[in-house]
Amino acid sequence: MSALIMVIVVLLVGVAALVFWPWRERGAVSRDALNRTLYYSRLRELDEEPPEARQALEVELQHSLLADIPEPRGQKTSHTGNGALLAGVLLVVAVSGGLFMATHSLKQVNDWQAAARETPSLVARVMDPHATPLMVEELTRLGLGLRTRLQDDPHNGVGWAMLGRIGMVLNNADTATEAFKRAWQLNSQSIEARLDYAEVLARSPQPDDNRLGEQMLKDVAAQAPDNLRAQGLLAFSAFRQQRYTEAIAVWQSMLTRLPPDDARRAAVVRGIAQARVDSGMDNARLAVKITLSPVSKKALPDKGILFISVTDGASNVPVLVKKLPLGHFPLTITLNDADAMLPDRGLEHVTQGIVKVHISRDGNAAVQPGDWTGERRFTTLNPAAPVDVLVAPSPSGAG
């Protein structure tokens, strides 16, 4: 940037020199020289005149030359002209400087140069799993520095892939799409490069991009059936295009292959639940009407905890559990998948089962002497026809 300013200064000095130099003492020198030239030229012409007329003509020529001598105020006029030229040059300098200050991008250029210098250290932090994660501002500078480097090294596929991931983090779809496309073009046989590009296409708002991205994902899934990332992106693509049944099927298939402690299971389960809600499939509800026996009405304490659980009838492990403070009876409660013990096992897995009700004095989920219980088997899920459960003193204790 300092070099640019020096060039501008040199150009302005050159303009000033071009303006002033031709006018330096130009008026006086040019006029005297012209008068002398005309005088001697006229004398040569007088040589052809008769002697008696030549003397008179010479005197007349001399008087004409004397009459053409400029007055002293001519110097003043010259100084006035130079002042006008100086004012013009100063005006040019002022206008040029003003335009430069109004249109320059010194800060942006300095930021760009700083980002380029900082790029190696930022890349090292990204590659170091133990380093402090980059802030948004640092990611922005890293993206700028990477783009600058890639202009000089356009065949660096790793650099393009890193720039694409930065674009994804910064929610810059244009940068991510361009970068991942370049990385894929440089290494079209890489499954990861194809998945990166397919993912950004699947997230695009353009239908053509979605179709291309999904086709790429299907190609990868056919080539590598065990690639869970490709399966997950296919499910995501189907979900975005409101093909919920297809998305749920792919996600459920993934659950069977993911280890129990895999962190991705939670995201898959959330996706299935959201797809069921958005599609209207998640309408499974179980209504339970709880009534107290005459003995329970008389002995029921003022305070206690109500537990309602649902099993599939084959196992004692509850599928749904709801916990409520003790209230007034009869009481009707509706249970749904929000009450599921496991996110991937809700009412859709229960076609028939047993509803169990437990009123605990001390809030303990296990039945204790002095608690009240009741249960009822059901064979269909019909919210309009609640399952009636009569609560009585537990056989294991007094009521």
Is residue 399 included in any domain, yes or no?
no
CB 186 within 8 A of CB 161: no
Average pLDDT, the chain: 81
Whether residue 201 sits in one domain with residue 150:
yes
Tens of pLDDT, residue by residue over 213-223, are 999 999 999 99
Give the CATH number of the domain where residue 197 resides: 1.25.40.10
CB 91 within 8 A of CB 99: no
Whether residue 221 sits in one domain with residue 155:
yes
Entry field: residues in the chain? 399
Q: For residue 52, which amino acid is it?
A: E
Tens of pLDDT, residue by residue over 308-353, are 999 988 888 899 999 999 888 899 998 888 888 887 777 777 778 9
Is residue 73 included in any domain, yes or no?
no
CA distances from 390 to 273, 330, 331, 346, 373 (A): 33, 10, 11, 25, 8
CA distances from 350 to 20, 245, 340, 358 (A): 99, 19, 11, 21
Position 1 pLDDT exceeds 70 = no
CA separation for the pair 167, 164 (Å, rounded): 5
Whether residue 217 sits in one domain with residue 320:
no
Is residue 398 included in any domain, yes or no?
no
CB 45 within 8 A of CB 37: no
Whether residue 235 sits in one domain with residue 139:
yes
Whether residue 293 sits in one domain with residue 263:
no
Whether residue 154 sits in one domain with residue 228:
yes
Domain with 296, as residue range(s), is 286-393
Whether residue 294 sits in one domain with residue 222:
no
Is residue 332 included in any domain, yes or no?
yes
Whether residue 317 sits in one domain with residue 202:
no
Is residue 72 included in any domain, yes or no?
no
Tens of pLDDT, residue by residue over 74-111, are 444 455 556 666 666 677 667 766 676 666 566 666 66
Give the CATH number of the domain where residue 304 resides: 2.60.40
Query: Which H, E and C letters describe 49-73, residue by residue?
Result: CCHHHHHHHHHHHHHHHHHCCCCCH
Exposed/middle/buried for 103, CB within 10 Å: 0-12, 13-18, 19+?
exposed
More confident call, 295 vs 199: 199
> Which of 279, 296, 327 is at the close of a domain?
279
Position 265 pLDDT exceeds 70 = yes
Whether residue 84 sits in one domain with residue 192:
no
CB 83 within 8 A of CB 94: no
Position 235 pLDDT exceeds 50 = yes
What does the pLDDT read at residue 183?
95
Whether residue 255 sits in one domain with residue 314:
no
Number of independent structural domains in the chain: 3
Q: Average pLDDT in the 129-154 region?
A: 85
> Which range has the worst mean pLDDT, 115-124, 143-152, 227-236?
115-124
Whether residue 150 sits in one domain with residue 198:
yes
* CA triple 299-304-307, angle to 5 deg: 110
Whether residue 172 sits in one domain with residue 248:
yes
Q: Average pLDDT in the 105-120 region?
A: 68
What does the pLDDT read at residue 54?
65
Is the bond leading into 343 cis (omega within 30 degrees of zero)?
no
pTM: 0.51
> Which of 279, 295, 314 is at the close of a domain?
279
Is residue 74 included in any domain, yes or no?
no
